[in-house]
Structure 1
Amino acid sequence: MTTRREFLQKSAMGFGTLALSGVMEQELLGAPNPLYPKVPHFAPRAKHVIFLYMDGGVSQVDSFDPKPQLAKEHGQAPKFAVDATVFNNNGNLLKSPWAFNRYGASGLPISDLFPHIGSCADDLCVMRSMTAFSPNHPNANYALHSGHVLSGRPSMGAWVSYGLGTLSQNLPSYVVIHGGQVPAGGLQNFGNGFLTANHQGSIFLNDHPVLQNTSPLEATADMQRQKLAFLHDMDGSLEARLSHAEAIESAIQNYELAARMQMEVPDVTDISKESKATQQLYGLDAPYENTRSYAAQCLMARRLVERGVRFVELTINPGNGDRWDQHSNLVDGHQKNAAAVDQPIAGLIKDLKSRGLLDDTLLVFSGEFGRTP
């Protein structure tokens, strides 16, 4: 009988052999980019992820999870325990201020906050079984992004990048379209953790320029390619002298990717090239400024996915005065936040579907937690 210790020792030796064979294969093939597309154990149905991150915690009972019993007990004291060390001024139960309507052939109940998303009901899968690990925003954000309440672990986007690689050699495999407000917990929500640095989220601004220093200094693309090839040879010599140090390899790969992005990013982020009908679908002509801002993010996300980016995460715009974190003034805050994202998200779903991209693109709409009823 094999003991637990023997099993782990044999497993570790096996993993080491696999790793060694991978290194030898890379040396024989000329050390290809580690972000090249990888062949997983099972063919994934989804090839891309667009994570619509609702920072602050959109209320589940006011959006996609109606609670009829909550309406019956409105105004009563809660019958469940609430941790007084976190919230020491607890109120009574509050029913949803919004009505729910059934949408689509599925009859999916969605609140009045999201009429545009409601028109996409039959393309949605609502999960009502999720729970939160922590009532604190930073720890809950870490749990949402990495599965751990403490920082330092690889984020979802980093794992997708590590597991699948990228379909584009001129763009990162993991992009965060930054709406302007850093979430609680900071940029570690988009970090690579113990994975190499080329798997961390690359921050694109929802503004102009999207990235700094993306305009090449060379007069022609051919001159830039020659310069990049020369730098690659120089970096390779340094890397060899340092015995292929992992940190050096990652730095070289990131710098080379940055150079290639100079040619790709200005074009892929230029949403003015989209048709007027497409821009209207997303809400780029909406009267509300924050709708237009989030519409630009959603449209940019679709363009990035089309170019082969594996994981795109969108953060919300701070122009509403708050995230989805309404400890008070729930109605005004949630109405403004919903107005900013409702039409753009519905437009993104419909646009992806019309282009055949929804078949292999997973859209995730989630905050770090909801609200206590």
Structure 2
Amino acid sequence: MASAETMDSSHNRRRFLTNAGMGLGVAAFANLLASQGFATPAGAASISGGTRGPHFPAKAKRVIFLFMAGAPSQIDLFDYKPDLVKLFKTELPKSVSMGQRVTAMTKGKSQLIAPSKFKFSQQGDSGIWMSELLPHLSGHADELCFIRSMNTNAINHDPGKTSFCTGSEIPGKPSMGAWLSYGIGTMNKDLPDYVVLPSAFWSGKVNVQALYSRLWGSGFLPSKHQGTSFQAVGDPVLFLSNPSGVDAKIRRRMLDSLSELNTKHYSEIGDPEIETTIAQQEMAFRMQTSVPELTDISDETPETLEMYGPDIDKPGSYARNCLLARRMAERDVRFIQLFHRGWDHHSRLPENMLGQCRDVDQPTAALLTDLKQRNLLEDTLVVFAGEFGRTVYGQGNLTVDNYGRDHHPRCFTAWLAGGGVKGGFEYGKTDEFSYNVIEDSVHVRDLHATMMHLLGIDHTRLTFPFQGLQQKLTGVEPSRVVKEIIA
């Protein structure tokens, strides 16, 4: 059996040869480019892959991503189809469904049309149609940019959420927040680049899927870029408080000693994850001061708290998380992602939608108002979406007041606000059944490319070598920046 000394020596030789080989290759390639009259771009990566950003001036500095896990029904919220009332309980035409893939819950069953029971009205100077379920958000119609032609490949929840959060249905890829942390770095050294705020309470009590940490993980990127999930109960971040008998001075001495050991270890084997460990331990120490100050909302005015609605006093509520998102935006956290579950309505959709919209309508509108009042909306990109859409045909006990809807990846609605997008604007169109995109299709990959563009990143240039491929958030399939929605 090899000794530890022999193994370290072998490891160092392998690392040296790998780095030396790659370094010489990159140097040779750079000389070749120079000989052909090409300049080496500023900020270009060497052995780490593509060029990290920003690649051009950004319109947005940060993102607040409001992820509605479970997939809200676009037909009942945003995609107004008044003519469906006349087609209640009639079969969806084969010319519309065209043999498209359906879930196991629908396969072999009738596809009877279920029009929305909710009223729609035109809102703002833009006259955008919005559901009565969203009275507060409707007041911001002229600030919202609706993409009505969203589509995705995933037809089930877990691959749908994974695709929306990481760019791939295959688990294990870096999340979008991790890519941004890696690509354009931090703006606040005392808080994580990427913070996740899952709701601890939601009104929908049926078909609530689990949330997995891989949705905000770093995948093959250095682990320092992964999201930090805040908790509703106890310390906002696990193990934030010092244990009994340990004060800040003792903690500082412990970290200094540990850092010396880790630095020595890194100098011996060169593992970049050791550098990550050192950086994250220092970040954790700073967060012991910054996080309690961030999550203490006692300095907010009564008017601000009232604006976010009656759930603001519940730690872990969507309302409280919206307020925390604004406080994080003020402190320049790069990527803030809220997860609100309970939108998977295969039955009793009208009843459940009332509860879900009560949860999110007023706090979301308050977040937009709050950001605007503090001059933050202009450079904060707010995104609201679920993993896919809902079918026009119903499920369950199909009546005017009681119906459900199945999963539908072929078309759904997302909206954006602030951060350089056009307000009071609609892009894309669906057919009269909200079943197929008929104009200006936008895949989830295209939305990712557009979000990165608004943050100053060329999605084709921000790459990382893994498993023999220069990996990127948008993958290898064609994707585009939706320039039509950019102000």
Match runs of 1:93-112 below 5 Å: 93-112=113-132
| CA RMSD between the two structures | 2.9
2:174 to 154, 175, 196: 154
Q: What secondary structure is seen at the aligned counterpart in 1 of 2:151?
A: coil
**2:371 aligns to what?**
352
Match runs of 1:160-309 below 5 Å: 160-180=180-200, 183-184=209-210, 186-216=212-242, 224-225=251-252, 227-242=254-269, 244-284=270-310, 293-309=317-333
Matches of 1:149 and 1:184 in 2, distance apart? 16
Matches of 1:239 and 1:187 in 2, distance apart? 28
Distance 1:184 1:214, change over 3 A: closer
2:55 to 41, 65, 68: 41
Matches of 2:319 and 2:168 in 1, distance apart? 31
**1:63 aligns to what?**
77
Q: Deviations over 1:150-196 (max 9, x none)?
A: 11211111111112211111111011012138855622111112111
Equivalent position amino acid for 1:19 in 2: A
* Contact 1:141/1:185, CA 8 A, preserved across alignment: no
Equivalent position amino acid for 1:130 in 2: M
Distance 1:90 1:145, change over 3 A: farther
Q: What secondary structure is seen at the aligned counterpart in 2 of 1:50?
A: strand
Q: What secondary structure is seen at the aligned counterpart in 2 of 1:205?
A: coil
Distance 1:43 1:69, change over 3 A: same
Q: How far does residue 113 in structure 1 lie from its aligned partner after superposition? A: 0.8
Matches of 2:83 and 2:173 in 1, distance apart? 39
Identity percentage of aligned residues: 39
Distance 1:247 1:295, change over 3 A: same
Name stretches of at least 5 consecutive residues in structure 2 with no aligned partner.
1-24, 31-39, 202-207, 393-487
Q: What secondary structure is seen at the aligned counterpart in 2 of 1:129?
A: strand
* Contact 1:206/1:297, CA 8 A, preserved across alignment: no
Equivalent position amino acid for 1:44 in 2: A
Matches of 1:208 and 1:21 in 2, distance apart? 42
Distance 1:11 1:180, change over 3 A: farther
Q: What secondary structure is seen at the aligned counterpart in 2 of 1:109?
A: strand
Matches of 2:240 and 2:321 in 1, distance apart? 19
* Contact 1:206/1:296, CA 8 A, preserved across alignment: no
TM-score normalised by length of structure 1: 0.83
* Contact 1:137/1:185, CA 8 A, preserved across alignment: no
Q: How far does residue 253 in structure 1 lie from its aligned partner after superposition? A: 2.0
2:86 to 43, 64, 72: 72
Distance 1:10 1:71, change over 3 A: farther
Distance 1:226 1:90, change over 3 A: farther
* Contact 1:279/1:285, CA 8 A, preserved across alignment: no
Single out whichever of 150-159 and 179-188 deviates more from structure 2.
179-188
* Contact 2:231/2:238, CA 8 A, preserved across alignment: no
Q: What secondary structure is seen at the aligned counterpart in 2 of 1:125?
A: strand
Q: Deviations over 1:224-269 (max 9, x none)?
A: 5555444333321221122x20222222222221122111111101
Q: Deviations over 1:94-141 (max 9, x none)?
A: 111111111111111110111000011111101111012121101111
Q: What secondary structure is seen at the aligned counterpart in 2 of 1:78?
A: coil
Matches of 1:21 and 1:131 in 2, distance apart? 35
Equivalent position amino acid for 1:208 in 2: G
TM-score normalised by length of structure 2: 0.65
Matches of 1:52 and 1:352 in 2, distance apart? 14
Q: What secondary structure is seen at the aligned counterpart in 1 of 2:262?
A: helix
Q: How far does residue 21 in structure 1 lie from its aligned partner after superposition? A: 8.8
Q: How far does residue 365 in structure 1 lie from its aligned partner after superposition? A: 0.5
**1:124 aligns to what?**
144
* Contact 1:171/1:257, CA 8 A, preserved across alignment: yes
Matches of 1:135 and 1:295 in 2, distance apart? 29
Equivalent position amino acid for 2:227 in 1: G
Name stretches of at least 5 consecutive residues in structure 1 with no aligned partner.
1-8, 24-37, 318-322
* Contact 1:282/1:299, CA 8 A, preserved across alignment: yes
**2:6 aligns to what?**
none
Equivalent position amino acid for 2:357 in 1: A
Matches of 1:12 and 1:58 in 2, distance apart? 53
Matches of 2:196 and 2:355 in 1, distance apart? 23
Matches of 1:54 and 1:85 in 2, distance apart? 20
Equivalent position amino acid for 1:232 in 2: S
Q: How far does residue 63 in structure 1 lie from its aligned partner after superposition? A: 0.8
Matches of 1:192 and 1:122 in 2, distance apart? 36
Q: Deviations over 1:45-87 (max 9, x none)?
A: 1101001010000011111111234333222111213535632
Distance 1:52 1:12, change over 3 A: farther
Answering whether residue 338 of structure 2 is matched by residue 314 of structure 1, we say yes
Equivalent position amino acid for 2:122 in 1: R
Q: How far does residue 207 in structure 1 lie from its aligned partner after superposition? A: 3.3
* Contact 1:62/1:111, CA 8 A, preserved across alignment: yes
* Contact 2:311/2:317, CA 8 A, preserved across alignment: no
Matches of 1:303 and 1:266 in 2, distance apart? 12
Q: What secondary structure is seen at the aligned counterpart in 2 of 1:45?
A: coil
Answering whether residue 155 of structure 2 is matched by residue 135 of structure 1, we say yes
* Contact 2:305/2:312, CA 8 A, preserved across alignment: no
* Contact 2:178/2:218, CA 8 A, preserved across alignment: yes
1:343 to 350, 353, 362: 362
**1:324 aligns to what?**
343
Matches of 1:11 and 1:316 in 2, distance apart? 48
Matches of 1:138 and 1:263 in 2, distance apart? 36
